[in-house]
């Protein structure tokens, strides 16, 4: 069977949760990746973001984790930046729910982007979710201490209070 036929068969497979869903999405990401120059990193990212992180952390085999991490690192920086920009666009038009979803994906694909994590906290705050905002601002201070974002996050944590 060709890659296209294999991909179509996998797409039609019902399961999208748990181990079967994780395997399906990882295989679909790999098929797209194998297209070489014609690959679409956002398609790969879509498949990878469908994989439950809890499954990867707690239940996946070492081989699965290695492949997942390889795929994430191959598209991470580019895709993280695209989601970050999409989050900024949504934030500018005050669509905070969309901003949150995009910033979460930006952080998933580029965990070193302190601006994306800070923006996620801002979006939670603007959306009225004080608890999530405070939790995320705290993450900024823990993961990126002694940065401007950490200093600004401390100010918002104090402002949000208990």
Q: Report the pLDDT value the prediction gives residue 19, as an integer from 0 to 100.
A: 79
Asked if residue 87 lies in contact with residue 99, where contact means CB atoms within 8 angstroms, the answer is yes
0.85 surpassed by pTM: no
CA distance 154 to 23: 40
The mean pLDDT of 84-91, rounded to a whole number, is: 98
Q: CB neighbours of 81 closer than 8 A, spacing ≥ 6?
A: 106, 110, 113
Residue 5: per-residue pLDDT: 65
* pLDDT per position as a tens digit, 95-141: 999 999 999 999 999 989 999 999 999 999 999 999 999 999 999 99
- The crossing angle, in degrees rounded to 10, of helices 114-126 and 62-92 is 60
**pLDDT at 12 exceeding the cut of 60:** no
Average of pLDDT values for 75-86?
Answer: 91
For the segment 21-39, what is each residue's pLDDT rounded down to a tens digit? 899 899 999 999 999 888 8
- The encoded tokens of residue 25 equal 């999405």
- Does 13 have pLDDT greater than 60? no
| Residue 147 to residue 154: CA distance in whole angstroms | 11
For residue 10, the model assigns a pLDDT of 58
Cα–Cα distance between 145 and 147 in angstroms, integer?
A: 6
The chain-wide mean pLDDT, for the chain, equals: 89
- pLDDT at residue number 162: 64
Give the percent of the chain with pLDDT over 70: 88
């Amino acid at each position: 069977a060709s890659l296209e036929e294999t991909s179509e068969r996998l797409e039609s497979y019902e399961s999208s949760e748990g181990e079967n869903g994780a395997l399906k999405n990882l295989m679909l990401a790999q098929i797209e990746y194998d297209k070489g120059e014609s690959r679409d990193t956002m398609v790969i990212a879509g498949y990878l973001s469908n994989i439950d992180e809890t499954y990867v952390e707690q239940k996946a085999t070492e081989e699965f984790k290695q492949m997942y991490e390889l795929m994430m690192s191959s598209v991470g920086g580019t895709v993280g930046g695209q989601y970050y920009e999409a989050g900024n666009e949504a934030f500018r038009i005050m669509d905070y729910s969309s901003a949150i979803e995009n910033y979460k994906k930006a952080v998933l694909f580029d965990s070193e982007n302190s601006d994306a994590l800070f923006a996620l906290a801002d979006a939670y705050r603007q959306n009225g979710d004080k608890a999530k905002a405070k939790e995320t601002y705290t993450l900024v201070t823990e993961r990126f201490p002694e940065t401007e974002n950490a200093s600004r996050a401390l100010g918002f944590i104090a402002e949000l209070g208990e």
